[in-house]
């Protein structure tokens, strides 16, 4: 058995990585950093204009990136995105299931959530991950392996109120991660998750009042706001060969608010 290769274990060079919701918010930062590290990045996002602009910016600075309009709740759209990725680069090494419905959801009492809104959140945040995993699976299986990183939420550990449908969907992501890891082990496909704490992304800042944001960092060990770049290391590690014998796990990245 070969030993740990310290020169390549964390390398992203030429790895083909799909980032859902990769053109906006936290996903934008994942995409930028992966491209800076040499990955070939696919932006799968419903925000077409922003995603296309990001792909142009990354390409203009020497990165390798394509933008493919994708609604992850639509299996046909996801399949077209995966097919386009294979046509462009011939393989899929990593999938970051980042896209979700959150910022458009009102904060409020659980009993006021409309059933149709509940179903839509599950359709995107949970079923969308299943659809994306299913679409990339044949390619990862055929090439002998791959890495899937599912983005859950620190709400899972804290039991945070006022978006019960979102919290429930993100708890489901951890269950999906564990069971899918069990199913894909024989195919050498690692499936892991991260639970971000409250993160000051562009999207979060645009949809939150100053009263909601102020003081959120005081209840964690590191007394500063969490930024998208604070999450990049965990995602990078789980996509890299350095985590090659790790699957079915959840990494909590919240500056020390919830201990896990």
- Report the C-alpha gap between 181 and 185 in whole angstroms: 6
Residue 223: count other Cβ atoms within 10 Å of its Cβ. Answer: 10
Assigned token pair, 181: 């890891």
Assigned token pair, 30: 């994942």
- Report the C-alpha gap between 128 and 166 in whole angstroms: 14
Residue 202: count other Cβ atoms within 10 Å of its Cβ. Answer: 15
Q: What is the DSSP letter of 112?
A: G
Q: Is 137 among the residues known to form the active site?
A: no
- Report the C-alpha gap between 84 and 39 in whole angstroms: 17
Three-class SS of 175-206:
HHHHHHHHHHHHHCEEEEEEEECCECCHHHHH
Q: Which residue, among 206, 194, 203, 186, has the nearest Cα to 237 in the 3D structure? A: 194
Start-to-end C-alpha separation, the chain = 32
Which residue matches tokens 């990725």? 85
Beta bridge partners of 97: 150
Assigned token pair, 196: 């971000």
Catalytic-role residue among 30, 166, 212, 259: 166
Our separate counts of H helices and E strands in the chain read 10, 7
Active-site annotation, residues: 166
């Amino acid at each position: 058995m070969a030993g740990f290769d310290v020169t390549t274990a964390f390398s992203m060079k030429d790895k083909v990585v799909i980032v859902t919701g990769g053109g906006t918010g936290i996903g934008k930062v994942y995409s930028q950093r992966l491209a800076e590290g040499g990955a070939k990045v696919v932006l799968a996002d419903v925000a077409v204009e922003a995603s296309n602009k990001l792909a142009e910016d990354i390409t203009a600075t020497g990165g390798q990136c394509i933008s493919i309009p994708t609604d992850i709740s639509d299996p046909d759209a996801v399949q077209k995105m995966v097919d386009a990725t294979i046509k462009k680069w011939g393989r899929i090494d990593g999938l970051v299931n980042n896209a979700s419905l959150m910022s458009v959801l009102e904060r409020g009492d659980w009993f006021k959530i409309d059933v149709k809104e509940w179903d839509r959140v599950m359709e995107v945040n949970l079923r969308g991950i299943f659809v994306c995993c299913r679409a990339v699976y044949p390619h990862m299986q055929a090439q002998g392996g791959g890495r899937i990183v599912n983005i859950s939420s620190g709400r899972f550990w804290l039991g945070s109120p006022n978006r019960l449908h979102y919290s429930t969907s993100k708890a489901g992501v951890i269950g999906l991660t564990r069971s899918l890891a069990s199913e894909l082990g024989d195919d050498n496909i690692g499936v892991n998750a991260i639970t971000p704490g409250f993160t000051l992304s562009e999207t979060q800042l645009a949809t939150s009042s100053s009263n909601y944001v102020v003081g959120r960092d005081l209840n964690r060990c590191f007394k500063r706001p969490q930024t998208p770049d604070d999450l990049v290391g965990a995602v990078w590690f789980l996509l890299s060969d350095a985590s090659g014998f790790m699957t079915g796990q959840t990494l909590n990245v919240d500056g020390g608010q919830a201990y896990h």
